[in-house]
């Protein structure tokens, strides 16, 4: 067996160009399949760890997926806000332990600006019920103060004490700057691996303050209210985007949800984060399954290529096989020789795919995190991924049996004199 492996590898090395290309095809298709699978798992895990300990998210009536995406992941937007008075009434509800009001809409260099209260730093939890920690500094106390997520601070190279001006609107649509009202950085949060890292936190009253002299999305011409004068206005917001709610007893969540959904003074919706995520995955899973199906096809195409290359080489190798028979190789030996070639290339190809995945994870994860907030951690293959690799190798083995069998038949028919 050892010398057959040696023969197979030396024969393969002799045809390294064509076989190398086939190997590359298998490596890349493996990378694609494993990459899709890993992104899927990591995205799910990321999303699931982004919020914890929050029993209900309450906002103006919309779809639960939309509210979740907007309030927690700062993706998309909600068309309407909920009233401040609704928030006040909810905060005093006997079932409620704590509330965090949030308002979204502005951005700073592409990072979402979130208006909130100190309750955010006190009650917000992520991962496995972990509270937010400060790397440096402390929560904001004054109106024009700001707390940065770890990544936003690192990317923008801001430290505690730095001054920034916010932009109106978000994303590429952000245009005018709130240049007259600069903010001072008072704290930088420790990394969490969640959207918090990319968020700029300011007091919810500051959102009102910077928009005092604005109307309809633009500064009112000739009207400018200086930061000193702003404090004289009533800065209590009239509307907010959403509230994160913690209950005294988790068991009361359905009662509370019913109360919210039937609240007469405002059209509200209360969602449970885990259920809303499930709903999201149900939508996404169609695409996921499609992606997995496509990448599985790509793997199969790669293996068919391998099969074609080995079968094509078989005719050129007829004499070689006859020589091997004349020195004592049995048809069974030739079967093993050819099967080993295909299997070997599949195994090396699949393992190269895993190696490529590792390389890509190392090189792309900072980019994925900074652009999409997606944390891809370097780790060993999990059972799911190992099953995929074993699946690829098994199909490769099945495919390799075909040239093996043909070599077997050929050597029986040819004997020592190949008919060319």
Partner 1 sequence: MISAQAIIELRNLHYTWPGQNSPCLVIETLTIHTGERIFLHGPSGSGKSTLLGMLGAVHTPQAGELRVLGESLPTLPATQRDRFRADHIGFIFQLFNLVPYLSVIDNVILPTHFSDRRRKLATPERATVEAEATRLLTRLHIDQHLWQRPVTTLSVGQQQRVAAARALIGQPEILIADEPTSALDAALQEDFLTLLMHECATAGSTLICVSHDQRLAANFDRSIDLATLNHAATRASHSV
Tokens of 163: 């001054």
Minimum CB distance to partner 1, residue 3 (Å) = 4
**Rounded CA separation 323/334 (Å):** 11
Residues 197/370, Cβ–Cβ less than 8 Å: no
Q: Is 17 in the site for partner 1 (CB under 8 A)?
A: no
Q: Is 324 in the site for partner 1 (CB under 8 A)?
A: yes
| Number of CB atoms found within 10 A of residue 248's CB | 14
Q: Is 333 in the site for partner 1 (CB under 8 A)?
A: yes
Task: With both helix axes pointing from N to C terminus, report the angle between 331-372 and 383-414 in degrees, rounded to the nearest 10.
Answer: 150
Minimum CB distance to partner 1, residue 9 (Å) = 10
Answer for which of 286, 327, 378, 383 binds partner 1 (CB under 8 A) is 327
Minimum CB distance to partner 1, residue 295 (Å) = 35
Q: Is 201 in the site for partner 1 (CB under 8 A)?
A: no
User: Which residues, numbered 205-244, are part of the site for partner 1 (CB under 8 A)?
Assistant: none
**What torsion do the CA atoms of 146, 152, 158, 159 make, to the nearest 10 degrees?**
70
Minimum CB distance to partner 1, residue 324 (Å) = 7
Residue holding tokens 């800065």?
235
Tokens of 367: 């980019």
Contact stretch for partner 1 (CB under 8 A) within 7-15, 37-45, 153-161, 218-226: 7-15
User: Which residues, numbered 74-113, are part of the site for partner 1 (CB under 8 A)?
Assistant: none
Checking phi first, is residue 390 left (phi over 0); if not, alpha (psi -120 to 50) or beta?
A: alpha
Task: With both helix axes pointing from N to C terminus, report the angle between 273-316 and 318-326 in degrees, rounded to the nearest 10.
Answer: 70
**Rounded CA separation 273/72 (Å):** 9
Of 159 and 332, the one with the shorter C-beta distance to partner 1 is 332
Cα–Cα distances (Å) from 88 to 204, 240, 243, in that order, read 14, 11, 10
Task: With both helix axes pointing from N to C terminus, report the angle between 383-414 and 273-316 in degrees, rounded to the nearest 10.
Answer: 20
Answer for which of 110, 305, 331, 391 binds partner 1 (CB under 8 A) is 331
Answer for which of 231, 258, 289, 319 binds partner 1 (CB under 8 A) is 319
R_g over Cα of the chain: 31
Contact stretch for partner 1 (CB under 8 A) within 41-49, 115-123, 273-281, 331-339: 331-339
Minimum CB distance to partner 1, residue 345 (Å) = 16
Residue holding tokens 């913690």?
246
| Interface map 289-318 toward partner 1 (x if CB under 8 A) | ------------------------------
Q: Is 332 in the site for partner 1 (CB under 8 A)?
A: yes
Minimum CB distance to partner 1, residue 402 (Å) = 22
Pick the closest to residue 410 from 312, 310, 318 (CA basis).
318
Contact partners, residue 88, CB within 8 Å, separation at least 6: none
DSSP class of 132: P
Of 11 and 117, the one with the shorter C-beta distance to partner 1 is 11
Of 25 and 329, the one with the shorter C-beta distance to partner 1 is 329
Minimum CB distance to partner 1, residue 344 (Å) = 15
Minimum CB distance to partner 1, residue 314 (Å) = 15
Runs of H (alpha helix) within 78-160: 84-91, 119-123, 150-156
Tokens of 74: 């700062």
Q: Is 13 in the site for partner 1 (CB under 8 A)?
A: yes
Minimum CB distance to partner 1, residue 299 (Å) = 29
Contact stretch for partner 1 (CB under 8 A) within 70-78, 105-113, 164-172, 320-328: 320-328
Minimum CB distance to partner 1, residue 302 (Å) = 25
**Rounded CA separation 175/203 (Å):** 22
The secondary structure element, H or E, covering residue 43 is helix 16-49
Contact stretch for partner 1 (CB under 8 A) within 55-63, 77-85, 116-124, 330-338: 330-338
Q: Is 20 in the site for partner 1 (CB under 8 A)?
A: no
Contact stretch for partner 1 (CB under 8 A) within 70-78, 254-262, 394-402, 412-420: 412-420
Q: Is 180 in the site for partner 1 (CB under 8 A)?
A: no
Binding residues for partner 1 (CB under 8 A): 3, 10-11, 13-14, 319-320, 323-333, 413, 415-417
């Amino acid at each position: 067996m050892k010398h057959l492996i040696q023969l197979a590898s030396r024969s393969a090395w002799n045809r390294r160009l064509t076989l190398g290309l086939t190997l590359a095809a298998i490596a890349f298709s493996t990378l694609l399949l494993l990459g899709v699978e890993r992104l899927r798992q990591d995205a799910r895990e990321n999303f699931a760890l982004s919020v914890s300990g929050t029993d209900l998210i309450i906002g103006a009536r919309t779809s639960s997926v939309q509210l979740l995406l907007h309030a927690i992941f700062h993706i998309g937007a909600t068309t309407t806000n909920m009233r401040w008075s609704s928030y006040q009434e909810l905060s005093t509800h006997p079932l409620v332990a704590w509330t965090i009001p949030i308002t979204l809409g502005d951005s700073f260099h592409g990072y979402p600006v979130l208006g909130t209260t100190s309750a955010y730093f006190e009650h917000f939890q992520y991962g496995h019920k972990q509270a937010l920690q400060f790397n440096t500094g402390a929560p904001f106390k004054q109106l024009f103060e700001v707390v940065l997520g770890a990544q936003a601070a690192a990317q923008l190279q801001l430290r505690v004490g730095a001054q920034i001006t916010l932009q109106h609107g978000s994303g590429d649509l952000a245009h005018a700057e709130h240049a007259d009202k600069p903010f001072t950085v008072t704290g930088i949060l420790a990394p969490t691996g969640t959207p918090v890292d990319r968020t700029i936190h300011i007091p919810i009253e500051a959102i009102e303050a910077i928009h005092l002299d604005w109307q309809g999305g633009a500064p009112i011409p000739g009207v400018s209210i200086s930061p000193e004068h702003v404090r004289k206005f009533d800065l209590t917001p009239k509307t907010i985007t959403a509230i994160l709610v913690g209950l005294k007893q988790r068991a009361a969540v359905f009662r509370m949800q019913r109360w919210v959904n039937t609240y007469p003074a405002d059209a509200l919706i209360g969602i449970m984060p885990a259920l809303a995520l499930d709903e999201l995955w149900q939508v996404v899973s169609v695409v996921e399954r499609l992606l997995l199906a496509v990448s599985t096809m790509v793997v199969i195409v790669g293996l068919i290529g391998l099969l074609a290359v080995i079968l094509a080489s078989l005719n050129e190798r007829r004499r070689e096989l006859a020589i091997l028979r004349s020195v004592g190789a049995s048809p069974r030996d030739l079967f093993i020789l050819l099967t080993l070639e295909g299997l070997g290339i599949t195994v090396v190809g699949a393992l190269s795919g895993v190696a490529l995945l590792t390389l890509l994870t190392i090189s792309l994860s900072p980019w994925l995190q900074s652009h999409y907030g997606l944390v891809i951690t370097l780790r060993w293959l999990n059972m799911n991924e190992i099953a995929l690799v074993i699946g690829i190798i098994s199909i490769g083995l099945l495919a390799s049996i075909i040239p093996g069998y043909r070599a077997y038949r050929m050597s029986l028919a040819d004997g020592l004199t190949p008919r060319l």
